[in-house]
């Protein structure tokens, strides 16, 4: 009885969560600018219109720049943090780890406002760099959560054997540790890139005159005639996010199989 109830609850929750999202691609193929049932017909016009949106193209480039910078820097910091947490004992280790993970539970608007105040006080102008800094702050905890599971299952005797054979700590890391945890690193890169690509609130406060793709979509919603194009663009972003997250989950599971750790919920 309990199992049946949990199954019904899980199915109902998934429907409640994802059914509204499925309407986005459905209406993106509707041959009408009005978002309503019944559908008027099938068309690819709104997708074709995206090719003639220079503002959207620049926003996409901006998002890619921020996303790549965020994923690379967040993953590097995540590697350092995850290795420190899993390999060493230091003062207030649990407190420091909890502090690093704090952005996971803080409201994004508080993070955005705090970053805005700090950057302006330090004399920074709002640009893609400020957006990337905000995204890095948000993504490092996700990266650490993924990489900690990879490093926890790593057999330290392999590193010890490498150093016994004459390799230094740096070469041991690159030749022994890195290949084993590489799937976790790829997963971290993909997930942090996806988070940065889809993030709106921090980018809204910190982007200045260089909008990212979510900010561009928000600006276009003021024009009713642009709504079908936005539905098409949103559908493409939804598809891209789904593919990236599936790839990230594949590499995360691969990393856990290689290190012998169990699945964990991030």
Q: Tell me, yes or no, whether 266 lies in a domain.
A: no
pLDDT band at residue 105 under the 50/70/90 scheme: confident
If asked whether residues 195 and 176 sit together in one domain, one would say yes
Q: Which of the two residues, 228 and 153, has the higher pLDDT score? A: 228
Asked if residue 16 and residue 141 are part of one domain, the reply reads no
Q: Residues 68, 111: one domain?
A: yes
| Domain-embedded: residue 48 | no
| Position 72 in a domain | yes
- Statement to judge: residues 149 and 249 lie in one domain: yes
Q: How confident is the model at residue 175 (pLDDT cuts 50, 70, 90)?
A: confident
Q: Is residue 34 part of a domain?
A: yes
Examine the pLDDT at 262 and tell me if it is beyond 50. no
Q: What integer pLDDT is reported at residue 146 of this predicted model?
A: 86
pLDDT at 192: 92
94 with 224, same domain: the answer is yes
User: pLDDT tier at 53 (50, 70, 90 boundaries)?
Assistant: confident
Give dist(CA 185, CA 101) in Å, integer. Answer: 18
pLDDT of residue 241: 81
pLDDT at position 264 is 43
- As a whole number, mean pLDDT of residues 177-182 equals 77
Same domain, 184 and 237: yes
Q: Judge if 16 and 90 occupy the same domain.
A: no
Q: Could you tell me if residue 262 is left (phi over 0), alpha (psi between -120 and 50 degrees) or otherwise beta?
A: beta
Look at residues 8, 48, 239, 253 and name the one whose alpha carbon lies nearest to residue 146: 253
**142 shares its domain with 229:** yes
Burial of 229 (0-12, 13-18, 19+ CB in 10 A): buried
pLDDT of residue 63: 92
Instruction: Using the predicted structure, report yes or no on whether residue 260 has a pLDDT greater than 60.
Output: no
Q: Which domain holds residue 28?
A: 1-43
**Are 3 and 130 within one domain?**
no
Is 190 a member of any domain?
A: yes
- Indicate whether 170 belongs to any domain: yes
Say if 120 falls within a structural domain. Answer: yes
Clarify whether residues 216 and 87 are in a common domain: yes
Span 213-239, average pLDDT: 82
Quick one: pLDDT at residue 71? 94
**pLDDT at residue 73 above 90?**
yes
pLDDT at residue number 2: 61
Amino acid 263: pLDDT? 44
Q: Is the pLDDT of residue 232 over 90?
A: no
Q: What SS3 class is residue 264?
A: coil
Mean pLDDT value across residues 53-67 = 89
Q: How many domains does the chain have?
A: 2
Distance between CA atoms of residues 111 and 37, nearest Å? 39
User: Can you give the CATH number for the domain in which 58 is found?
Assistant: 1.10.3720.10
Q: What is the rounded end-to-end Cα distance, in angstroms, of the chain?
A: 29
Q: Determine the average pLDDT of the residues in 134-158.
A: 83
234 and 165 both lie in a single domain: yes
Average pLDDT for residues 17-40, to the nearest whole number?
A: 76
Query: Does residue 11 fall inside a structural domain?
Result: yes
Taking the complete model, does pTM exceed 0.85, yes or no? no
- Say if residue 57 is in the same domain as residue 189: yes
| Residue 266: band (very low, low, confident or very high) from pLDDT cuts 50, 70, 90 | very low
């Amino acid at each position: 009885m309990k199992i049946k109830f949990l199954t019904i609850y899980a199915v109902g929750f998934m429907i409640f969560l994802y059914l509204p999202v499925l309407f986005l691609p459905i209406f993106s193929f509707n041959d009408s600018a009005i978002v309503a049932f019944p559908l008027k017909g099938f068309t690819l016009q709104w997708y074709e219109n995206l090719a003639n949106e220079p503002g959207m193209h620049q926003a996409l480039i901006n998002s890619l720049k921020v996303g790549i910078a965020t994923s690379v820097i967040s993953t590097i910091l995540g590697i350092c943090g995850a290795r420190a947490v899993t390999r060493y004992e230091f003062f207030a280790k649990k407190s420091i780890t909890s502090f690093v993970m704090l952005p996971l539970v803080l409201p994004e608007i508080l993070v955005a406002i705090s970053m805005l105040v700090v950057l302006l006080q330090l004399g920074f102008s709002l640009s893609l760099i400020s957006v990337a800094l905000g995204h890095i702050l948000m993504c490092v905890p996700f990266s650490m959560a993924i990489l900690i599971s990879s490093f926890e299952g790593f057999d330290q005797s392999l590193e010890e054997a490498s150093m016994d054979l004459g390799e230094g700590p740096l070469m041991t890391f690159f030749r022994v540790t890195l290949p084993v945890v590489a799937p976790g690193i790829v997963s971290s890169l993909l997930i942090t890139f996806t988070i940065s690509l889809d993030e709106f609130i921090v980018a809204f406060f910190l982007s200045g005159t260089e909008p990212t793709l979510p900010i561009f979509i928000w600006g276009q919603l003021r024009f009713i005639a642009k709504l079908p194009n936005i539905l098409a663009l949103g559908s493409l972003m939804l598809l891209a996010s789904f593919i990236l997250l599936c790839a990230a989950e594949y590499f995360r599971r691969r990393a856990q199989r290689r290190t012998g750790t169990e699945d964990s919920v991030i």
